[in-house]
Homo-oligomer: A and B are copies of this chain.
Amino acid sequence: MKNFPSSISRMIDAFASLPGIGEKTATRLVFYLIRSPGNVSRELGEAAQNLKEGLKLCEKCRNITMENICGVCEDSNRDASQICVVEEALDVLAFEKAGIWRGVYHVLNGVLNPLDGIGPESLTITDLVRRVEGGGVEEIILAMNPSVEGEATAMYLTKQLQAGSFPKIKITRLARGLPTGSELSYADEVTLGAALKGRREF
């Protein structure tokens, strides 16, 4: 459109650069902001500009925090002998929201992905090994996403942890199977195979 205000195109581009937001959705969002009172777009703007301010990575588990040590690591009620290794901070949030894990975490900051140039040195694997070397760790749960990269990372981690001299550490992974509420007839072959293989006594 001729002479279309540049501030609008700029905002559309900014929204459209986010994952899962196409140009059409971005345009709708921008026109929603224009129709809304000025404080809505101002608040969005300020929040985005201040987002990264003061954010740090926890010295222990590499989770995102505003202190040196994150809330989970600092909580004396959490069982520090059990470490749940996840790909990213978002996964910690998923566990914490579910309120089902009383151990601590370790955030890998990604998965191995040679095609994207992400090798072991890009991840916080050394930090994890150091934590384990520090002693007191009894179990490590490898809670990567059930993807090819997640699998490869889990295998690499297992090797690294077994290569060290920590004989008593149990290395486990999350169960595979049918998600609750799903329909068996819609499950893919791999999921169904895993559910069958991992069947348990009733």
Contacts and interface: CB of A to CB of B under 8 A. Distances in A.
Interface of A is mostly: helix
B47 A46 contact: no
A50 B88 CA distance: 32
Sorting the interface of chain A by its residue count into under 10, 10 to 19, 20 to 34 or 35 or more gives 35 or more
Nearest to A37: B52
Contacts of A67: 3
Given A70-B3, A89-B31, A93-B1, A48 B51 contact: no
Interface stretch (A10-18, A142-150, A171-179, A182-190): A10-18
A66 B3 contact: yes
Interface string A59-86: 0000011110011101100000000000
A51 B20 contact: no
A25 to B, nearest CB: 7
B71 A4 contact: yes
Given A48-B41, A51-B34, A27 B92 contact: no
18 contacts: A3-B66, A5-B55, A5-B64, A6-B66, A7-B47, A8-B51, A8-B64, A11-B48, A11-B51, A14-B47, A17-B43, A30-B51, A33-B48, A33-B51, A34-B51, A34-B55, A41-B52, A45-B51
